[in-house]
């Protein structure tokens, strides 16, 4: 009795310690999130959730991934949050938003409607626009425009590279790529909003501050980018940049540390050393020395009150267009222009009414026909920032803005489009799926395509066509992908490029992603339609249910991975790559012959060997665990002392994986 009582006390104390640890970890996670250190917050929230599966920890993970624009993981965690007791209407909204950013427009619409029901009178004003956008986005994906994109891996990095602008024989762009290897890598791009500034890295990203770089194209590759100008690159964020038509004048965005804030404001709440607002600066080229002059601030900068950014000149340099959240605008950020006066100064800002919305408008630019392009969240597009075009009418009057279409626009942020002189090619910045880094520079051309892919997606077990599955076509030649939803008959279609190889995948919520490799148009000289049929892996994802891996064999009394087992484990590696939120347990099982304890040890070593192989292929160790069950989980009645055939014993000698979290 005393022994049992002592055991209960110890158990109670251990549970109490775990609770205290979970609470302390959760508080630290929240503190890191408040400091905008979302990468650190995620690690802490995960530890807290593993100890106690609370709504606060799950929401913290979901919110942190949303802030980092990691939409697959945001979707995964919000899916848990909305099923937990005590969730709030905005949790449903953010879940719908994550689904939208993952191209799951049909599901997104359903969750926006559920949010509307729960939010009641407090529903967001732009909800109907978002719901309508889910319908129009699906249509745009099924009717893509003829733009061909290329992602050049020699130009982009794992960090943020964006804002390319043609200059001389190359491009100038902005990047927070790691030059000093002491800088740590933490994802996502945002301007600094921390009043404890570091000199070497941004407090939000943990990466170097954005700088302007220059690179020239040599054949099929780009030269190694070099810092564009030490004069233009200040100590904090710099870029993007835009040049006059003759290349002698540049306007660019910058942040800086404000040490003399008292000179800007009498508001003591603002009198501190920090950099938070964006400003526009300009510089002129000295043709004799080929140096840029000391950057001069734009007349309408107000860094303690509002941001001014993304400036670009009209072709004749008489007008300067820019974005700002200055008072009096229509939304979170509006487009403005100033007219150059006879003395070279800029007149007062004029709001481009008719093009601005309650959302965000940024990154104005022009093509060679004087059409205005800009990025916006306010018109109900594909999701995130979308590119719009407004035709020039007369004296800064513009036609109604039109969405350029898919795949120029995607469910993620697409912005900063700049056309070359030919009007048919140029550069686009995007954080779309399939990129190399957080933001990437894409080259594009308008092109007529002559090949087509048609296919269907069906349930592998039943053969029934699956509607609203998201099919992704990846071009191995250009390192880009496009997506399309399946229709009511499970059908999809894509335009293809000539002399290209493709991979096509299909995904749907609660199904394991399916893949088909080696589709090709190489060698075809005439128009052709290719066909593909994809079968999603299982009816639905069932947690903790073993899924057998075939052809995983071990030599007698050994646990090393044989050569013939490699291809089968590679398939699991691909499944985990295609399903990045999946966390699994890989288990090894033996038959009942031999000592129980020995079988348990042998199966554990075999499971660990398989897991180590998978980790060696690049799968994060946090996503997979090894477990040997020995002979404790037979799939038939062949236990100790039974007289079974070799075939029956073989059924129990198996390797499985079970999905623990998705």
> What fold characterizes domain 451-536?
Immunoglobulin-like (2.60.40)
Pairing of strands 279-286, 296-297: antiparallel
Average pLDDT rounded to a whole number, residues 588-612: 89
Work out the mean pLDDT of the chain and round it to a whole number: 84
SS3 at position 282: strand
d(CA 445, CA 428): 11
Q: Which residue has the higher pLDDT, 429 or 38?
A: 429
d(CA 56, CA 3): 37
Length of the chain: 662
Q: Which residue has the tokens 């004749």?
A: 316
Does 431 score more than 70 pLDDT? yes
Q: How far apart are the first and last CA of the chain?
A: 44
Does 455 score more than 80 pLDDT? yes
SS3 at position 432: coil
Pairing of strands 308-313, 291-292: unpaired
Q: Which helix (H) or strand (E) holds 534?
A: strand 528-536
pLDDT band at 261 (very low <50, low <70, confident <90, very high): low
3-class SS letters over 175-208: ECCCCCCCCCCCCCCCCCCCCCCCCCECCCCCCE
Does 346 score more than 90 pLDDT? yes
Q: Which helix (H) or strand (E) holds 615?
A: helix 596-616
Q: What is the pLDDT of residue 265?
A: 52
Q: Which helix (H) or strand (E) holds 627?
A: strand 624-630
Q: Using an 8 Å Cβ cutoff, are 352 and 334 in contact?
A: yes
Other Cβ atoms closer than 10 A to 420: 15
Q: What is the pLDDT of residue 180?
A: 60
SS3 at position 557: coil
Does 190 score more than 80 pLDDT? no
Q: What is the pLDDT of residue 128?
A: 87
For the stretch 475-532, pLDDT in tens is 988 889 899 899 888 888 888 888 888 988 888 888 888 887 778 888 776 667 777 6
Q: Using an 8 Å Cβ cutoff, are 112 and 95 in contact?
A: no
Q: What is the largest CA-CA distance in the chain?
A: 101
Q: Which residue has the tokens 């800007």?
A: 264
Does 597 score more than 50 pLDDT? yes
Q: What is the pLDDT of residue 500?
A: 87
Does 620 score more than 50 pLDDT? yes
Kindly provide the b/e burial profile for residues 288-307, where b requires at least 16 CB atoms within 10 angstroms of the residue's own CB: eeeebeebeebebbbbbebb
Q: What is the pLDDT of residue 276?
A: 63
Nearest partner of 639 among 602, 588, 590, judged by Cα: 590
For the stretch 100-159, pLDDT in tens is 988 899 999 999 999 999 999 999 888 888 898 888 888 888 888 888 899 988 899 888
d(CA 182, CA 18): 36
Provide, rounded to the nearest whole percent, the portion of the chain with pLDDT above 90.
39
Q: Which residue has the tokens 């290719």?
A: 530
* Contacts with 228 (C-beta within 8 Å, 6 or more apart), sequence order: 172, 211, 212, 213, 214, 241
628 HSE (CA, 13 A, CB side):
19
d(CA 290, CA 4): 85
Q: Break the chain down into helix, strand, coil percent, rounded to 5.
A: 25, 30, 45
Provide, rounded to the nearest whole percent, the portion of the chain with pLDDT above 70.
87
Q: Span 545-661: which CATH code?
A: 3.30.1330.60
Q: Of 219-223, 317-321, 489-493, where does the model show the most confidence?
A: 317-321
**Does the domain at residues 147-178+202-446 carry the CATH identifier 2.115.10.20?**
yes
pLDDT band at 378 (very low <50, low <70, confident <90, very high): confident
Does 645 score more than 70 pLDDT? yes
Does 208 score more than 90 pLDDT? no
For the stretch 65-82, pLDDT in tens is 998 888 899 999 999 999
For the stretch 383-427, pLDDT in tens is 889 999 999 888 778 999 999 999 999 988 999 999 998 888 999
Nearest partner of 87 among 123, 53, 118, 49, judged by Cα: 118
**Which region, left, alpha or beta, applies to residue 631 given φ > 0 means left and ψ of -120 to 50 means alpha?**
alpha
Q: Which two tokens stand for residue 428?
A: 């686009």
- Residue 365 dihedral angles phi and psi, to the nearest 5°: -160, 170
Q: What is the pLDDT of residue 205?
A: 55
d(CA 143, CA 485): 11
SS3 at position 520: strand
pLDDT band at 281 (very low <50, low <70, confident <90, very high): very high
Q: Where are the domains of the chain?
A: 22-124, 147-178+202-446, 451-536, 545-661
Q: Which residue has the higher pLDDT, 2 or 244?
A: 244
Q: Span 22-124: which CATH code?
A: 1.25.40.10
Does 352 score more than 50 pLDDT? yes
Q: Which residue has the higher pLDDT, 297 or 592?
A: 297
Average pLDDT rounded to a whole number, residues 261-269: 54
Q: What is the pLDDT of residue 25?
A: 84
| Cα dist from 209 to 68, 268, 616, whole Å | 17, 28, 33
Nearest partner of 609 among 624, 596, 597, 626, judged by Cα: 626
Q: Using an 8 Å Cβ cutoff, are 142 and 485 in contact?
A: yes
SS3 at position 171: strand
For the stretch 533-583, pLDDT in tens is 666 554 556 777 878 887 787 766 778 887 878 888 988 898 888 888 889
Q: Using an 8 Å Cβ cutoff, are 106 and 99 in contact?
A: no
Average pLDDT rounded to a whole number, residues 156-176: 92
């Amino acid at each position: 009795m005393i022994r049992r009582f002592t055991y209960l006390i110890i158990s109670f104390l251990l549970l109490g310690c775990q609770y205290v640890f979970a609470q302390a970890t959760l508080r630290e996670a929240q503190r890191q999130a408040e400091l905008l250190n979302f990468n650190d917050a995620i690690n802490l929230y995960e530890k807290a959730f593993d100890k106690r599966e609370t709504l606060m920890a799950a929401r913290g993970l979901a919110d942190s991934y949303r802030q980092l624009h990691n939409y697959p993981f945001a979707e995964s965690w919000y899916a848990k949050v909305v099923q937990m007791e005590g969730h709030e209407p905005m949790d449903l909204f953010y879940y719908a938003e994550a689904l939208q950013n993952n191209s799951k427009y049909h599901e997104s619409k359903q969750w926006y409607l559920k949010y509307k029901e729960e939010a009641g009178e407090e529903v967001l004003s732009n909800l109907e626009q978002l719901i309508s956008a889910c319908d129009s986005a699906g249509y745009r994906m099924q009717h893509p425009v003829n733009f061909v994109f290329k992602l050049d891996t020699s130009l982009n990095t794992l960090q943020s590279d964006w804002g390319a602008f043609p200059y001389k024989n190359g491009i100038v762009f902005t990047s927070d790529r790691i030059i000093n290897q002491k800088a740590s890598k933490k994802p996502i791009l945002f301007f600094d909003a921390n009043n404890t500034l570091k000199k070497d890295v941004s407090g939000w990203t943990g990466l170097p501050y954005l700088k302007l770089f220059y690179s020239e194209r040599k054949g099929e590759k780009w030269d190694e980018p070099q810092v564009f100008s030490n004069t233009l690159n200040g100590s904090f964020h710099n870029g993007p940049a835009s040049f006059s038509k003759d290349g002698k004048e540049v306007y660019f965005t910058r942040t800086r540390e404000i040490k003399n804030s008292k000179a800007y404001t009498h508001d003591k709440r603002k009198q501190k050393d920090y950099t938070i607002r964006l400003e526009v600066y300009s510089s002129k080229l000295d043709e004799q020395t080929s140096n840029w002059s000391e950057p001069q601030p734009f007349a309408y900068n107000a860094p303690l009150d509002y941001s001014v950014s993304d400036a670009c000149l009209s072709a004749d340099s008489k007008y300067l267009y820019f974005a700002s959240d200055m008072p009096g605008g229509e939304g979170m950020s509006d487009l403005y222009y100033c007219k150059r006066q006879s003395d070279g100064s800029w007149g007062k800002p004029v709001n481009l009414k008719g093009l601005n919305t309650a959302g965000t408008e940024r990154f104005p630019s022009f093509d060679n026909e004087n059409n205005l392009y800009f990025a916006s969240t306010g018109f109900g597009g594909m999701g995130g920032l979308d590119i719009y075009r407004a035709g020039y009418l007369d004296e800064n009057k513009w036609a109604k803005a039109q969405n350029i279409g898919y795949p120029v626009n995607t469910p993620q942020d697409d912005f900063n489009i700049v056309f070359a002189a030919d009007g048919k090619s140029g550069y686009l910045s995007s954080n779309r799926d399939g990129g190399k880094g957080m933001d990437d520079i894409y080259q594009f051309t308008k092109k007529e395509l002559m090949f087509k892919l048609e296919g269907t997606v069906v349930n592998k077990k039943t053969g029934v066509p699956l509607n609203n599955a998201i099919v992704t076509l990846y071009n191995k030649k250009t390192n880009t992908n496009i997506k399309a939803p399946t229709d009511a008959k499970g059908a999809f279609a894509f335009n293809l490029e000539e002399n290209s190889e493709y991979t096509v995948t299909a995904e749907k919520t609660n199904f394991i992603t399916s893949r088909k490799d080696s589709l090709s148009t190489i060698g075809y000289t005439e128009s052709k339609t290719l066909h593909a049929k994809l079968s999603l892996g299982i009816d639905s994802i069932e947690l903790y249910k073993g899924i057998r891996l075939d052809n995983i064999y071990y030599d007698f009394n050994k646990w090393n991975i044989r050569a013939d087992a490699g291809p089968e484990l590679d398939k699991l590696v691909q499944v985990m790559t295609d399903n990045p939120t999946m966390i699994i347990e890989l288990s090894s099982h033996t038959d009942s012959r031999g000592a129980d304890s020995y079988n348990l040890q042998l199966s554990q070593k075999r499971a660990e060997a398989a897991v180590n192989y998978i980790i060696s292929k690049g799968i994060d160790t946090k996503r997979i665990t090894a477990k040997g069950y020995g002979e404790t989980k037979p799939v038939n009645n062949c236990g100790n002392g039974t007289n079974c055939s070799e075939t029956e014993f073989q059924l129990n000698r198996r390797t499985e994986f079970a999905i623990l979290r998705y």
